[in-house]
Amino acid sequence: MVLEYKLVAAEEQRRRMDKAIRTAQFVRNHCLRYWMDGENVGKNDIYKHTTKLRAEFEWAKKLNSTAVQAAGERAWSAISRFYDNHKRGIKPVGYPKFKKNVRSVEYKQSGWKLDAHNKRLTLTDGFKIGVMKLLGKWDLMLYRQEDIKRLRIVKRADGYYAQFLVDAQRHFDLEPSGKTIGLDVGLKSFYTDSRGYEEPNPRFYRKAERALKKLQRRISRKVKGSKNRQKAVMKLGRKHLKIQRQRKDHAVKLARCVVMSHDVVAFEDLKVRNMIKNRKLSKSIQDAGWREFRRWIESFAKIMGKIAIPVNPAYTSQMCSRCGVRVKKDLKTRMHMCGCGVVLDRDHNAAINILKVGLRMVGHTRTAGVIQETLVEMEEDLNSGASVDEARIPPL
């Protein structure tokens, strides 16, 4: 669990935090270069290299030793992700890159002190940042000091934040609602559920686009390197940060309501990274925030003891939710009309199909490949004249 507070810091403290962040960036990039130039460099070699960096560079020694290790771990995280993607055949594999704009530094259980009662944080490493006040609603008195495993200092457009990683599990005991729901996300409406309800799409970025363009024009008029240009850049950054927070707040509240009201939630297992390659729809897809919404559904389902099922969306828009016959339609066709007499909105029909497939998977662990095979075999049976209930399902 992560608890976040805003830091009340003086100008000199902000400069010193910037130095600590740049030092962590240097260590991370230097470890990555060490891996690129070496042979058979492993995680332990990265740890040893961070120790050498502190001995070689006097200014790097100012950063706490655990923070230097954490920076090395960031480099190894990028390296191990590259290896894993290569083994699994994921393309692009994501070759590790050097970072030029790192905005955070991470400490382990040393280099800082916490006064939970007065909400004061003290950074005690060589940069001598000192005492800062914490602004936030979370009560740190509920947790033991040893349960706080890591501290991360994050720089954003509107200031600096402290994130505490607490070793604690959240759990809510809720009465079963006896309800299930299938969700089909879209651009016209944020989602359409299996009962036909359409959640409006807020379109936060689209609504703020005019103001963003105005702020971008202000930046272009300023002299590069001037303080006025820096102020204009900060204003633009704060506007983008507001949009990001609006999108997150919408996803959190919506996901919480959906999960609390239903025992089983089936949703589309979309590959957003591939979908945004469509230049005509990429801005709208990113503005919708489907990935954020899915992440919070899965998180709340785990906390509340509910079931969240990702369903491969293949053929869910094409198959009839009553008779199972495949009715081909392009993206412009928004209504589903079948020979059996069903006339439904395209997304409503897809949501019902998503719920049906999800309910068949309850209590079973399936990979995306198995789900795809299930849908293909269902389609073959339904096209041959079988009903939805008679369609064969592969053995579990």
Model pLDDT for residues 196-244, shown as the tens digit of each residue:
999 999 999 999 999 999 999 999 999 998 999 999 999 999 999 999 9
**Other beta carbons less than 10 A from residue 29's beta carbon:** 19
Are 270 and 322 part of one and the same domain? no
Which of the listed residues 308, 333, 366 is the one where a domain comes to its end? Answer: 308
Residue 337 has pLDDT above 60, yes or no: yes
Are 54 and 148 part of one and the same domain? yes
Are 157 and 226 part of one and the same domain? no
Mean pLDDT in residue range 174-200: 91
For 33-86, what is each residue's pLDDT tens digit?
Answer: 999 998 889 999 999 999 999 999 999 999 999 999 999 999 999 999 999 999
Residue 98 has pLDDT above 60, yes or no: yes
Rounded to 5 degrees, what are φ and ψ at 7? -95, 130
Contacts (Cβ under 8 Å, ≥6 apart) of 114: 120, 121, 122, 140, 145, 148, 164
Render the burial of 152-174: b for 16+ CB within 10 Å, e for the rest. bbbbebeebbbebbbeeeeeeee
Q: How many domains in the chain?
A: 3
Q: Evaluate whether residue 251 is within a structural domain.
A: yes
Q: Which residue range(s) make up the domain with 334?
A: 312-383
Q: Evaluate whether residue 173 is within a structural domain.
A: no
Residue 371: pLDDT band with limits 50, 70, 90: very low
Q: Evaluate whether residue 377 is within a structural domain.
A: yes
Q: Evaluate whether residue 172 is within a structural domain.
A: no
pLDDT at 370: 44
Residue given tokens 């971008």 in the structure block? 216
pLDDT at 307: 92
Residue 374 has pLDDT above 90, yes or no: no
Are 316 and 243 part of one and the same domain? no
pLDDT at 363: 58
Which of the listed residues 275, 308, 341 is the one where a domain comes to its end? Answer: 308
Q: Evaluate whether residue 175 is within a structural domain.
A: no
Residue 369 has pLDDT above 90, yes or no: no
Are 129 and 258 part of one and the same domain? no
Residue 174: pLDDT band with limits 50, 70, 90: confident
Are 302 and 328 part of one and the same domain? no
Residue 392 has pLDDT above 50, yes or no: no
Mean pLDDT in residue range 135-148: 88
Are 27 and 122 part of one and the same domain? yes
Query: Tokens representing 79?
Result: 């390296």
Are 144 and 195 part of one and the same domain? no
For 241-266, what is each residue's pLDDT tens digit?
Answer: 999 999 999 999 999 999 999 999 99
Query: Tokens representing 267?
Result: 């949703």
Mean pLDDT in residue range 284-295: 93
Residue 377: pLDDT band with limits 50, 70, 90: low
Q: Evaluate whether residue 396 is within a structural domain.
A: no
Residue 331: pLDDT band with limits 50, 70, 90: confident
Residue 272: pLDDT band with limits 50, 70, 90: confident
pLDDT at 105: 95
18-32, 283-297, 316-330, 382-396, range with the lowest pLDDT:
382-396
Q: Evaluate whether residue 64 is within a structural domain.
A: yes
Which of the listed residues 308, 327, 361 is the one where a domain comes to its end? Answer: 308
Are 279 and 217 part of one and the same domain? yes
Are 96 and 238 part of one and the same domain? no
Q: What is the pTM of this model?
A: 0.82
Q: Evaluate whether residue 87 is within a structural domain.
A: yes
Are 124 and 150 part of one and the same domain? yes
Q: What is the biggest distance separating any 2 CA atoms in the chain, rounded to whole angstroms?
A: 78
Q: Torsion angle, CA of 27/32/35/36, rounded to 10 degrees?
A: -140
Are 102 and 213 part of one and the same domain? no
pLDDT at 390: 41
Query: Tokens representing 74?
Result: 């960031």
